[in-house]
Copies of this chain bind each other. A is one copy, B any other.
Amino acid sequence: MTTDPFGWARSLDTLFDQVWTRLSRGVHDRHAPARHPTLATVSTRGRPQARTVVLRAADKGNGTLLVYTDLQSHKVAELQVSPFAALHIWDSGAHLQIRLAASVSILTGTDVAELWRDMPDHGRMAYGSTPSPGTPLSDALGYNKIPDPEAFAVLHLTIESIDVVHLGPDHRRAEYCREGGWVGQWLAP
């Protein structure tokens, strides 16, 4: 008897569970593919932008994710104008492409004080940069990173839909929407 290692891809429910298993693994294992999703936003000029982020929390019950960023970064300015993000993960081990569409709230100050308090010193180094990210420099290393709680922002992603493709012996694609209570729908790949 052989077992299909991707048997979970055959039903909408188990495929959905697998997506959240992978997201959760990204939060807890820094070597997991979902640790470093690509976050796409729309710039103030209406152009697509994409960059690597670190997944910090994944809440299946609420369908929400957390990503940390520097408040001075371009993505924050973009999200203030167009508060929507696409999050993309390619998990090669699972042969799984996960695409999330989310609306985004930007949390700062007292709302994130507890997360800041719980962060180790080396983690804090990523928030607070002089000059701010993206500023032209005459020397490549002409910047300072000094942890600054005022520069710490948390992107709170409320997932609206999940589009997942499994590239196994058969290709399967499904979509799950918050509005539909996360009941899945198969799609043509």
Complex: chain B residue closest to A131, CB-CB:
B188
A52 touches B97 (CB 8 A): yes
- CB-CB < 8 A to A42: which residues of B? 42, 46-48
Query: Given known contacts A42-B42, A141-B172, is B186 in contact with A84 (CB within 8 Å)?
Result: no
B189 touches A129 (CB 8 A): yes
The A interface, classified by DSSP as helix, strand, loop or mixed, is strand
- CB-CB < 8 A to A88: which residues of B? 38, 40, 50-52
Q: A176-187 interface mask toward B, CB cutoff 8 Å, 1 = contact, 0 = none?
A: 000000000111
Q: A22-44 interface mask toward B, CB cutoff 8 Å, 1 = contact, 0 = none?
A: 00000000000000101011100
Q: A134-176 interface mask toward B, CB cutoff 8 Å, 1 = contact, 0 = none?
A: 1111111111000000000000000000000000001011100
CA distance A46 to B172 in the complex (A): 27
A189 touches B40 (CB 8 A): no
A90 touches B50 (CB 8 A): no
Query: Given known contacts A48-B48, A82-B46, is B188 in contact with A170 (CB within 8 Å)?
Result: no
B86 touches A40 (CB 8 A): yes
